[in-house]
Amino acid sequence: MSGFPTIELTVYPFECDAFGHLNEAAFLAVFERARWDALARGPGIDLFRKNGVWPAVRKAGIEYHAAVYPGDVLRIETMVARRGTTSFTLRQSATRASDGVRVSDAELVLVCIDPLGRPAPIPEAVGTFLGPRVTKGTEMLRVEIGKGEAQLPVEVRGDSGDVILFVHGFPLDHTMWRHQMAGLTKWKRVAPDLRGMGGASTPPRASAYSMGHYADDLIAVLDQVGARRAVVCGLSMGGYIVFELLRRHPERIRALVLCDTKAESDTAEGRKARDEQAGLAEREGVGAVVDRLLPKLLGKTTHKAQPELVAEVREVILRSSVPGFAGALRAMRDRPDSTPDLGGIRVPTLVVGGAEDELIPPAVTQQMATLIPGARYESIKSAGHMAPLEQPLAVGRVLGEFLEALPK
Ligand code: MLT
């Protein structure tokens, strides 16, 4: 459900002054009660808290048009006038139910804050309730690869600023970066769907999937957005692709963010498992594999505390095309070992690891960071393999600090 329903509230005697009018300060409380009641009837009164933020009022303006008395029933309408990255503006009006007289109008600016009182991006679930955001400077490009080889949808946010390119993991799509795309507003944020995944077209040939193909596709994306160099941020398989990009086009990389990824290639056992999964998906569809993948893609805490996120990731996996899914598994199976390249990395690097990541455990990401000269390591509490999606506030903070500190 999205949007605030109309709420009717009765005026109580204790809210009124010596003349029996609803007191001016109590009026603000009536508007506030209507907002909480709207949440209680919709997504739940704990919508903000359970998403790790609190809506703090930064500014409130109110006009009083007519007197109100105990026992009057007020009909309160609430609408979202503006949605930014961390803040939103609500307009509320109060009408007396008995005669339809408009008695008051208010406008409030609210900011989502984290537990330390710092502005935080509006969480996805809150955004869904508030309704669609009218964003200036958001574009969906379609990047053509080769002569009809593939087409990739690419979300671009921000008209100016240096470019940060987000590369998603398997078997997902660019929406896994939505929190980082919504924040980092000083940056031009670019997030493609990889060939065969999300809304990208799916080349049918098995030979069209390799780390080399994915990496060259990223160059086509950077060319299309006019970025000579970019900060490149890859999660898991996205990180494997970033290592290939480093080998092929190091001059295009300004800095690296490696999330929940590793440099090693697959073991013999791991390669066998890739083949089994690809074969099963080809014979029976992606639905036959999803329940093997899901438990380890997200952390224990997320499985307990964010069932809606688990359900959403499941949906994204189930939308995968079979050739894209199998192609990615075989491309990962055949990827080379990037460990020998780590010592030669000369750009600022941030390594992020979910503390509950079972697929690529913290010991592995930490060890990788020690092999990259000057790399910084950040562990994300209560996150598994998809830290940017599971704990967007914590990841946003470490990413923001890293980007701020980059040499200009
Ligand atoms: C991913 O998240 O991209 C994959 O789980 C990586 C892998 O299977 O190695």
From 332, 364, 386, the mutation candidate for ligand 1 (largest count of ligand atoms within 8 A of CB) is 332
Checking if the pLDDT of 161 tops 90, the result is no
Average pLDDT score over residue span 148-171: 92
Residue with tokens 């990962």: 332
Average pLDDT score over residue span 91-101: 85
Residue identifier of the C-alpha nearest atom 9 of ligand 1? 237
From 385, 386, 389, 390, the mutation candidate for ligand 1 (largest count of ligand atoms within 8 A of CB) is 385
Residue 408 burial by Cβ neighbours in a 10 Å radius (0-12, 13-18, 19+): exposed
The Cα 164–Cα 256 span in angstroms is: 10
Residue identifier of the C-alpha nearest atom 7 of ligand 1? 237
Per the structure block, which two tokens stand in for 173? 């799509």
Taking phi over 0 as left and psi of -120 to 50 as alpha, with beta for the rest, 52 belongs to left
pLDDT score of 391: 94
Query: Do 384 and 362 meet the contact criterion of CB atoms below 8 Å apart?
Result: no
Give SS3 for 303.
helix
pLDDT score of 63: 87
Distance 230 CA to ligand 1 centre (A): 23
Encode 305-323: b = buried (16+ Cβ within 10 Å), e = exposed: ebeebbeebbebbeebbbb
User: What 8-state DSSP symbol labels residue 130?
Assistant: H
Query: Do 34 and 7 meet the contact criterion of CB atoms below 8 Å apart?
Result: yes
Confidence at 158, pLDDT banded by 50, 70, 90: confident
The Cα 353–Cα 343 span in angstroms is: 19
Distance 243 CA to ligand 1 centre (A): 14
Give yes or no for residue 332 CB within 6 A of ligand 1.
yes
Give yes or no for residue 169 CB within 6 A of ligand 1.
yes
Confidence at 101, pLDDT banded by 50, 70, 90: confident
DSSP letters spanning 369-404:
HHHSTT-EEEEETT--TTHHHHSHHHHHHHHHHHHH
From 241, 264, 325, 359, the mutation candidate for ligand 1 (largest count of ligand atoms within 8 A of CB) is 359
Q: What is the CA radius of gyration of the chain?
A: 25
pLDDT score of 137: 63
**Atom of ligand 1 minimally distant from the CA of 296:** 5
Q: Which residues lie below 8 Å from residue 77, measured CB to CB, with a gap of 6+?
A: 4, 6, 92, 93, 95
Query: Do 350 and 399 meet the contact criterion of CB atoms below 8 Å apart?
Result: yes
Residue of 55, 114, 43, 110 whose CA lies nearest to 83: 110
The Cα 383–Cα 337 span in angstroms is: 26
pLDDT digits (tens, 9 = 90+) for 339-389: 999 999 999 999 999 999 999 999 999 999 999 999 999 999 999 999 999
Average pLDDT score over residue span 191-210: 93
Checking if the pLDDT of 134 tops 70, the result is no
From 170, 176, 269, the mutation candidate for ligand 1 (largest count of ligand atoms within 8 A of CB) is 170
Report which of residues 247 and 100 the model is more confident about.
Answer: 247
pLDDT score of 193: 94
Average pLDDT score over residue span 22-32: 92
Distance 68 CA to ligand 1 centre (A): 61
Average pLDDT score over residue span 298-312: 94
Mean confidence (pLDDT) of the chain: 92
**Atom of ligand 1 minimally distant from the CA of 169:** 3
Give yes or no for residue 389 CB within 6 A of ligand 1.
no
User: What 8-state DSSP symbol labels residue 133?
Assistant: -
Distance 169 CA to ligand 1 centre (A): 6
Distance 262 CA to ligand 1 centre (A): 10
